[in-house]
Amino acid sequence: MLKKKIKKKLMSLFESGDCVRATNNGKWVIWSDLHMGDGSSRDDFAPNGNLFYRVLVEHYYEKGFNVVLNGDVEELQKFSLKKIVMYWRDIYKVWQKLHQKNRLFKLYGNHDYKLSKLKKQPFGIPVSECMKIDMHHNTLFLFHGHQANYFSNTFRHLIDFILRFVATPLGIKNYSVAYNNRKKFKLEQRYYDFAMQRKILALIGHTHRPLFESRSKIDSLKLEIDQMCRLYAKSGPKIRYELEKRIKDFKEELVKLQKRQKGKYEYASLYNRDPLVPCLFNSGCTIGPSGITALEIEEGEIRLIYWFDSQRSQKYFDMAASPPEQLPNSNYYRVVLNSEPLDYIFSRVRLLA
């Protein structure tokens, strides 16, 4: 019964007349889960606020990207909208400029659901629940990802009350899905099945876990290690020396991630299906301990991107397939974690789904 309700909800969302439509008119960057607060110590966005502002202005705005904010932009379950807008006013001004150029698309999630009820939006920037990007008869379907969470949607007002007046004053983290592997798995599996049946790409947020071609970070690390081991067997001494170092780094990262699962590693490898259909993507979040993740679309290619502060993390200088790119006059770097041509991805979706 619940599965039918969720499937009906997703079908209704996909076919909704309120779902913003766009065509592939250039470059795109997709962010989700900013959770912007009031700039205080309780504001999870604050540690990466300057990083986000710099890359927004100096990279994406200047280079002509369209920007999609895919839900949970404002943390309205903890802070008032007035305080959020007041503290992060400079970011809103950039968004306003993008909106005036028809380059900004803002969707709402469960933490900023109240925006959908407002008659007047901050800086006149409209919000929607979903959007579609049409690319040569193929569809990218963007929505936050809370829609298949029955409990969250049914008891929204009760959750808001508990988070604002109980959890927040006590300093309790409120991102239940982001910290629960079982819930992540269930939600991602529902969206994976929906996207596979429709033969589309679903781009979500909500779980804070970056996904590329339906693979989690653990899945991607295992694949990378396997590919490097295959290459090692065919290589000479000099190449083998470099590969040994990279395999060691990737193995240590994999073990570290597996330990974080706390005995629930089965949920890290999402679907355990063969063949895996590359129909689900997740932009991750902007409140990571060292930086922010995003999805980029440019020149017919989709990429999973990580922007990080080199003063807080150095690991991607050794682990990245290509050297990180520095944002001029800063300690901030951009690294491509995964990248594939969209034509290739859509071909696999059509043939494998």
* Whole-number average pLDDT of the chain: 85
Instruction: Give the residue, 62 or 313, on which the prediction is more confident.
Output: 62
Lowest mean pLDDT among 217-226, 231-240, 287-296: 217-226
With cut-offs at 50, 70 and 90, classify the pLDDT of residue 103: very high
pLDDT at 133: 94
pLDDT beyond 90 at 340: yes
pLDDT at 221: 72
* Proportion of the chain above pLDDT 90, given as a percent: 56
Angle at 337 between CA 22 and CA 310, to 5 degrees: 110
Assigned fold of 2-216+270-352: Purple Acid Phosphatase; chain A, domain 2 (3.60.21)
Residues 59-63, mean pLDDT to the nearest whole number: 97
pLDDT beyond 60 at 185: yes
Instruction: Give the residue, 82 or 275, on which the prediction is more confident.
Output: 82
pLDDT at 176: 57
Q: Could you tell me whether strands 325-326 and 301-309 are parallel, antiparallel, or unpaired per DSSP bridges?
A: unpaired
How far is it, in rounded angstroms, from Cα 49 to Cα 26? 26
CA 125 to chain centre: 21
Give the orientation angle of helix 181-198 with respect to helix 2-14, to 10 degrees.
60
Mind listing the pLDDT tens digit for each residue in 317-334?
777 777 899 999 999 999
pLDDT beyond 90 at 9: no
Please count the residues of the chain. Answer: 353
How far is it, in rounded angstroms, from Cα 93 to Cα 85? 10
* Proportion of the chain above pLDDT 70, given as a percent: 83
pLDDT at 261: 62
Lowest mean pLDDT among 66-80, 89-103, 164-178: 164-178
Burial class of 41 by CB neighbour count within 10 A (0 to 12, 13 to 18, 19+): exposed
pLDDT beyond 60 at 266: no
pLDDT beyond 80 at 310: yes
Residues 72-91, mean pLDDT to the nearest whole number: 96
The number of C-alpha atoms within 13 Å of 124 and in the hemisphere containing its C-beta is: 8
pLDDT at 339: 93
pLDDT at 156: 55
**H-helix segments, the chain:** 2-14, 49-55, 81-87, 89-100, 150-154, 156-162, 181-198, 217-234, 237-260, 316-319, 342-352
Tokens standing for residue 225 = 């290690």
How far is it, in rounded angstroms, from Cα 65 to Cα 78? 31
63-81 burial: b if 16+ Cβ within 10 Å, else e: eebbbbbbbbbbbbbbbeb
Residues 198-225, mean pLDDT to the nearest whole number: 85
pLDDT at 40: 95
pLDDT beyond 60 at 157: no
Nearest Cα to 75, choosing from 240, 287, 298?
Answer: 287
Q: Could you tell me whether strands 280-282 and 201-204 are parallel, antiparallel, or unpaired per DSSP bridges?
A: parallel
Which residues, in sequence order, are bridge partners of residue 142? 131, 203
Non-local CB neighbours of 26 within 8 Å, separated by 6+ positions: 64, 65, 66
pLDDT at 265: 44
Non-local CB neighbours of 165 within 8 Å, separated by 6+ positions: none
Residues 186-191, mean pLDDT to the nearest whole number: 88
How far is it, in rounded angstroms, from Cα 182 to Cα 220? 19
With cut-offs at 50, 70 and 90, classify the pLDDT of residue 171: low
CA 211 to chain centre: 7
Burial class of 178 by CB neighbour count within 10 A (0 to 12, 13 to 18, 19+): buried
Query: What's at 345, amino acid-wise?
Result: I
- In this structure, what are the phi and psi dihedrals at residue 234, rounded to the nearest 5 degrees? -100, 0
Nearest Cα to 224, choosing from 191, 260, 250, 256?
Answer: 250
Contact present, 61 and 101 (Cβ < 8 Å): no
With cut-offs at 50, 70 and 90, classify the pLDDT of residue 243: confident
pLDDT at 129: 95
Instruction: Give the residue, 3 or 145, on which the prediction is more confident.
Output: 145
Nearest Cα to 191, choosing from 30, 1, 25, 9?
Answer: 9
Contact present, 216 and 338 (Cβ < 8 Å): no
pLDDT beyond 90 at 104: yes
Instruction: Give the start-to-end residue ranges of the domains of the chain.
Output: 2-216+270-352, 221-258
pLDDT beyond 70 at 264: no
Residues 40-68, mean pLDDT to the nearest whole number: 97
At 93, is the secondary structure helix, strand, or coil?
helix
pLDDT beyond 90 at 28: yes
Lowest mean pLDDT among 57-66, 82-91, 100-109, 174-183: 174-183
Lowest mean pLDDT among 157-166, 230-239, 294-303: 157-166
